[in-house]
Amino acid sequence: MVDKKTILIHSKVSWARKSALAIIGLFFVMTLAVWSYYFYKKKELYQKTQERMVSIAKNRSERILDHVKKYTIQGQLRAAEPFLIEEMARLRDVKPEEVSSPATIKKEQKLITFLEEKSTELTFNNTIIITPDGLVVFAHSDKNYSGKNVSQLPYSGYALGESFMRAKMSLTTDISDFDFDPLLNRPVLFVTIPILHNEKLLGMLVQRVPREPIYAIGDDYIGLGSTGDITLTDEVEDGLVFLSRIRTENTQPLKRFIALDKTSDYLFPVQLASQGDRGQGLTMDFLQDTVFAAWRYVPKVNWGIVTKITEKEVLGQLNHIRLLGFGVLILFILILLIVSFYLGWFGPLLRSVNFYLHVWWIRTILFLFLLITIVWIAYSFMNQWNINLEQFKTLGAKKVQYAAENIDYYLHNSEITVANLAYDLGANRINKYDLLPRIKREFSEHADLQGIMIAYQPYEYSKEKKLYAPFFKRTKNNDVEIRYIDESYDYTQEQLSVNEAIWAHAGWYRKALENKEITIFEPYQDPELYDQLIIKIAVPFYNPADKEKQHPMGVVAYLFNSNSITKIVEQISLGDTGFAYLLAKDGRFMVYPIKNFINDQRTGQELAGELGSPSLLRMTNEALSGKSGFGFYDDKTFQQRMWAYYSPVSSTGWPLILIFSQQELKLPPLIYRHYWIWLLVLVGIGLFFLIWIGMKYAFITSNILYFFILIESALLLAFFIIIRASPIIRQPEKAITILDQVHLRQFVNERDRYARHIDEREPVEVPCGIYLYSLNFSKPTQASVSGYVWLKYPDTLAKELMKEPQFPQVIGGTNLQKSYETHEKGFTIMGWQFTFDLAQSFDFVTYPFDTLNFVIELEHPDLSQHIVFVPAFEDYRDLRPEKLPGIHPGLTVTGFGMKKSYFSFFKESGESNFGLQSFQNTPDRYYLGYTLILQRYLFYELIVFVLPLFIVLLLLYALSWVAEKEWLPIMILSGYTGLLFSTILLHRTLRARFMTGDVLYLEYLFFMIYLTIVLLVLYLVHQVYFKGRVSYISKAFRMYKTYFWPIQLMILFIITALIFYNP
């Protein structure tokens, strides 16, 4: 029989179980509901955000079009005004010199009065009136244009000039480019309207469209949150120019440019929009942010518009739901645990888990799974290099082939140009007297064309007889100069004397005749044509009736400079170090970042010899023999492995070679470290599993604790070695490290190209060198330094220019003494001796495993001059960073080892324009920095701090066990207190050394000791007051003591992993 009490207990238990189940069920449903709601809202939010982006893009592009349309209609209405037509008829024949004459001014006054009367309905002050010949006869606010002829250079190349010509030629209202106008010194957008009357073109009425409303449209971030932006871009030759400012940058319109890689498989939304595409979606923008974006093309003005908002911000709206989700999930787990514990579910649960884990095959499977994971991570770690190599190879091949195709296309077009004149000469369509106008036309249409040589009738052809042979040369003033080759030398001869061969480069005549078709000659430097590298294309001409090409009538040769080809090659880049060069068939450099290589007629083989690389020599020879390939060579100068992809230009066989450093293939130190950390963690777990399996087979029988301690210690030690071996060097944002002349030229060329795109002056380079004699870290944020600095000012710079360096970080002890000034090779060289204290921003968080980068920033004091200091590489013997260029061999820094030194360019923050408008106009402004990487000596720090801390920990451990045997609480407590006191003293010493707001890595060891002391004291108190009656506390503390070292090591391991995973 069951008694009432039992029934009551059972009913209570049953009720409790039901309630517990209900609570668990409730929380389970709540967790499911919250997360379902989160994912539903996320999907909805994604969709709504995309729709919003599309709608904003559409709205802003309509507003832009409405704005332009308003001025177009206003202008068209004004152009139809009878008074204006009458005035235009009068002004149409004004001559340039009469523009400012009293009569014209009087006429203009009438116009002004007329326009002012209309000012309430029309924006009269933006009007320009131009005669059909292009003369600006009226410009109310844009006065600089008055009297200028916009159909003539340079104005014909400006937005207004181009718009005028289009409108005049098509008699159609034209919307100009939105472009920077050098005459008005600001960005402009015009609408040009032809004025017609009585079937006659009277002139053009130009309406300047105010740009501020356009900027306002671009700045209208309503609906775009705090990270959203609207970009308006215009496609230019090799990139995009931003027409409105970028929200995250303080950039003026038309002063931001991004170069675009045509070989890239990925196109940014700004690029897609500008080239006429449209779309929306979650994508990556040009700032490398993941954004929701909508992009479209704005017709008529031909801009691309992109509206975007970061994914982070969008998802931020759901943060509260996500937090709630996590909260409910944690609560659910907690309740599950508590209820399980309370209702005794825990035991069976653990038993069942224990049971399954003890089933040998499950254990083995888990171990094997772990092993496979370790092997897989290790394989992907090793393979990452191969993947990178494959990626670089594919990309490099693509870039080289694309450039080679472009060069081919250019040469093909040039050949056709030459053949076309040859055809006309052969068909007698041009005679000797018609030739000059045609030659002038050729020069005006082909900017690269520098000369034309023709050997042709009226003399009858004879291989040994000189023909009448004019040489047309483009002069520096773009005029045509005629000389006669036949008077200079006998070009029909096979061999020529050295003097004769100067610009003839023997064989052009004979070889073309022998080939009977278009022949491209090897490039050569032509002193006749201002030492330019010349590519000569020659073709014999025949009468069209002479189908067999039996009777040549002469030869025509065009001499092109290599500017277009240079431009194609210079645009090739790969990663941070990749650059390309082009060789002629005889190995001479045609394009190379260092121009002297071309001028000095150096060859690829010579370069290979200088670098001491037989592999490069082999690859160069292979490339010269017309083969494509991929390989590596060892650069003896920089002691690094370089990779090269080479492929010939198919029409000429000129090898195009792309070089990049093996450094590019290496994993970034942080990723490298991540791989190692995961491997370590998994190996650790794997070892535990192994012990476990070993226990099953009884070959591990002794105290398992030792194994745990051993494994953890080994892991920790391995961890420290990895941290030490892969230091993370913190570089300022967008710092570009420049290690040699090639990369310097590449960087400078890129900056020059940027400057041209945004209509800014190209920066003036001043080579700068630095040499340090002493360095001392007087304070944690300060360094005392002394040494030499020298600058090489080109003679082309103004004499009154301030000539000295500026060290913006100087905070004290300034002493800059000029040591020497001399003049060499077109440069004024000035040297200074300096001693001062520099502000530094060191990061000590990872102490004692920290790596410091000491930086000296150098700027020209006159920021308005746009002078950039560049490393004077030629003044150093060894440029390898490991060889510490710029450091005196006797220099030592207490407590640190010097690892590397190099030059970098740092980007200006752009926070301020220093009061100079022009400074702000150039967003990507760089200044020179000299960096010295220092790594802390560990030994000293280990002795001073780490060792005492471990001894304290050991003493605590010992005391805790002693306390079990010798029960004198007060003595034990005194022992704990003494250890605490020593730890605090040590901690204070550490803090005094590093006055930083951050918590140092080593401090966590202190915290561990504090916590241990607190726990041991609590245990002591429990033992004294409760006599160990609370069994589970006793049990827990015993457990803690037993596993003291594994726990401490584990905590230390976790802290180390967390801090050093992403330092």
Partner 1 sequence: MFLSKWWLYIIAGSLVALSLILLSVVQLREKKVDPINVGVLFSLTGPIALTEKPLIDATLLAIDEINRNGGLLGRAINPIVVDGKSDTEQFKKEAIKLIQKDKVAAIFGVWRSSTRKALKDILEKNDSMLFYPADDEGLEESPNIVYMGSMPNQTVLPAISWAMTNLGKKFFIVGSEDLFPIVLHEIIKFHLQSMGGEIVGVELVKTEDQIPPIVEKIVASAPSVIVNVLQASMNIPFFKNLRQAGITAEKIPSMSFNLTEIELKELEVPFMVGDYASWTYFQTINTPENRAFVKDLKKKYGKSSVVNAIMESAYANVYIWSRAVQDAQSIQVPSLKKHLALQVFNAPGDVVYLDEKEQHAWRTAFIGRILYNGQFEIVWSSKKQIQPLIYPPYQTREYWDDFVRKTLKKLVSHGG
Is 1022:1014 a contact under the CB 8 Å cutoff?
no
- Hey, which residues between 318 and 377 contact partner 1 (CB under 8 A)? none
CB of 423 to partner 1, least distance (A): 4
Phi/psi zone of residue 663: left (φ > 0), alpha (ψ -120 to 50 degrees), beta?
alpha
Tokens encoding 883: 């060889």
CA triple 770-774-776, angle to 5 deg: 120
Nearer to partner 1, 304 or 593 (CB): 304
E-only strand ranges, 636-763: 640-648, 655-661, 736-738
Only segment of 134-142, 312-320, 430-438, 775-783 that touches partner 1 (CB under 8 A)? 430-438
Region 75-134 residues binding partner 1, contact defined as CB under 8 A:
132
C-alpha 253/C-alpha 270 separation (Å) is 15
Q: Report in angstroms the alpha-carbon separations of 523 from 470, 536, 619, 887.
A: 21, 7, 21, 43
Q: Residue 427 CB, nearest distance to partner 1 (Å)? A: 7
Residue 772: beta bridge partners? 787, 887
**Residue matched to tokens 């055809």:** 423
In degrees and rounded to multiples of 5, residue 1007 shows phi and psi of -60, -40
Which tokens go with 911?
A: 């926070």
What does DSSP assign to residue 211?
S
Binding residue for partner 1 (CB under 8 A) from 47, 172, 391, 841? 172
Burial of residue 95 (number of CB atoms within 10 Å: 0-12, 13-18, 19+): exposed
User: Could you say whether residue 409 binds partner 1 (CB under 8 A)?
Assistant: yes
Dihedral, 264, 265, 269, 271 alpha carbons, nearest 10 = 40
Of the two residues 409 and 940, which places its CB atom closer to partner 1 in the complex?
409
Stretch that binds partner 1, among 81-89, 197-205, 530-538, 923-931 (CB under 8 A): 197-205
Report d(CA 257, CA 254) in Å as an integer.
8
Stretch that binds partner 1, among 32-40, 195-203, 280-288, 609-617 (CB under 8 A): 195-203
803 close to 856: Cβ distance less than 8 angstroms = no
The window from 27-35, 429-437, 526-534, 940-948 that contacts partner 1 (CB under 8 A) reads 429-437
Nearer to partner 1, 203 or 451 (CB): 203
Nearest CA to 984 among 1006, 1013, 1001, 957?
1006
Complex with partner 1: residue 66 or 998, whichever CB lies closer: 66
Question: Can you tell me which residue has the tokens 């230091």?
Answer: 727
* List 45, 85, 201, 324, residue binding partner 1 (CB under 8 A): 201
Identify residues 620-679 at the interface with partner 1 (CB under 8 A): none
The nearest distance, CB 98 to partner 1, in angstroms, is 20
Contact 886, 772 (CB under 8 A): yes
Q: Is beta strand 764-779 parallel, antiparallel or unpaired with respect to 867-871?
A: parallel
Residue listed under structure tokens 């795109």 = 757
Choose between 296 and 925: whose C-beta lies nearer to partner 1.
296
Total site size for partner 1, rule CB under 8 A: 43
Exactly one of 51, 121, 434, 998 binds partner 1 (CB under 8 A); that residue is 434
Question: Which of residues 161, 187, 194, 881 is near partner 1 by CB under 8 A?
Answer: 194
Nearest to 703 by CA among 1042, 953, 357: 1042
Q: How far is the CB of 64 from partner 1 (least distance, A)?
A: 12
Measure the N-to-C terminal CA separation of the chain; round to a whole number of Å. Answer: 69
| CB of 212 or CB of 445, closer to partner 1 | 445
Closest CA to 503 of 480, 529, 466: 529
* Residue type, position 155, single letter: Y
Peptide bond into 648 cis (omega under 30): no
CA 562 to chain centre: 28
Of the candidate residues 281, 327, 348, 544, the single one contacting partner 1 (CB under 8 A): 544
With respect to partner 1, which residue has the nearer C-beta, 371 or 430?
430
Distance CA 834, CA 809 (A): 13
Tokens found for residue 579: 């650059």
Q: What is the C-alpha to C-alpha distance for residues 815 and 828, in angstroms, rounded to an integer?
A: 22
Shortest approach of partner 1 to residue 719 CB, angstroms?
44
- The residue (of 366 and 430) whose beta carbon lies closer to partner 1 is 430
Residues between 152 and 171 with contacts to partner 1, criterion CB under 8 A: 162, 166, 168-171
Supply 200's token pair: 């006659």
From 423-431, 449-457, 841-849, 901-909, span contacting partner 1 (CB under 8 A): 423-431
Residue with tokens 């209570």: 12
Q: Residue 792: in which H helix or E strand, if any?
A: strand 782-794
Please identify, among the stretches 413-421, 590-598, 844-852, 988-996, the one whose residues bind partner 1 according to the rule CB under 8 A. 413-421
Report the residue number, 268 or 849, with the smaller CB distance to partner 1.
Answer: 268
Q: What is the smallest separation between the CB atom of 60 and partner 1, expressed in angstroms?
A: 14
Contact residue for partner 1 among 36, 264, 394, 420 (CB under 8 A)? 420
Q: Minimum Å distance from CB 509 to partner 1?
A: 21
DSSP state of 847: T
Q: Mark 244-263 with x for binding to partner 1 (rule: CB under 8 A) and - for no binding.
A: ------------------x-
Interface with partner 1, residue 423, by CB under 8 A:
yes
> Which C-beta is closer to partner 1: that of 112 or that of 430?
430
Please tell me the distance from the alpha carbon of residue 266 to that of residue 277, in angstroms, as a whole number. Answer: 14
What's the chain's Rg over C-alpha atoms? 39
Per residue, the 3-state secondary structure of 299-323, as one string, reads CCCCEEEEEEEEHHHHHHCCHHHHH
Q: Which of the residues 262 through 291 are near partner 1 (CB under 8 A)? A: 262, 275-278
Tokens of 535: 């590519």
Question: For the chain, how many helices (H) and strands (E)?
Answer: 28, 34
Judged by CB under 8 A, the stretch of 194-202, 506-514, 838-846, 1009-1017 that binds partner 1 is: 194-202
Part in contact with partner 1 (CB under 8 A); list of ranges 192-200, 316-324, 477-485, 724-732: 192-200
- Applying CB under 8 A, which of residues 87, 108, 142, 177 lies at the interface with partner 1? 177
| Residue (of 435, 555, 445, 538) closest to 492 by Cα position | 555
Which stretch, 10-18, 122-130, 311-319, 425-433, contacts partner 1 (CB under 8 A)?
Answer: 425-433
Among 17, 429, 696, 1035, binds partner 1 (CB under 8 A): 429
Smallest gap from Cβ 972 to partner 1, in A, equals: 58
Does 438 bind partner 1 (CB under 8 A)? Our answer is yes
Site string for partner 1, 955-984 (x = CB under 8 A): ------------------------------
570 binds partner 1 (CB under 8 A): no
Are the beta carbons of 302 and 179 closer than 8 angstroms? Answer: no
Q: Cβ 248 to partner 1, closest distance in Å?
A: 28
Q: Quick check: 244 and 253 in contact, CB under 8 A?
A: yes
Spatial contact of 233 and 219, defined as CB atoms under 8 Å apart: no
| Cα 1012 from chain centre | 49
Cβ at position 512, least distance to partner 1 in Å: 17
Cβ closest to partner 1, residue 549 vs residue 602: 549
- Answer for which of 99, 204, 293, 419 binds partner 1 (CB under 8 A) is 419
Give whichever of 92 and 588 is closer to partner 1, judged by the CB atom: 92
CB of 194 to partner 1, least distance (A): 7
Name the residues that contact partner 1, by CB under 8 A: 132, 162, 166, 168-175, 177, 194, 196, 199-201, 262, 275-278, 296-297, 299-300, 302, 405, 409, 413, 416-417, 419-420, 423-424, 427, 429-430, 434, 438, 445, 544
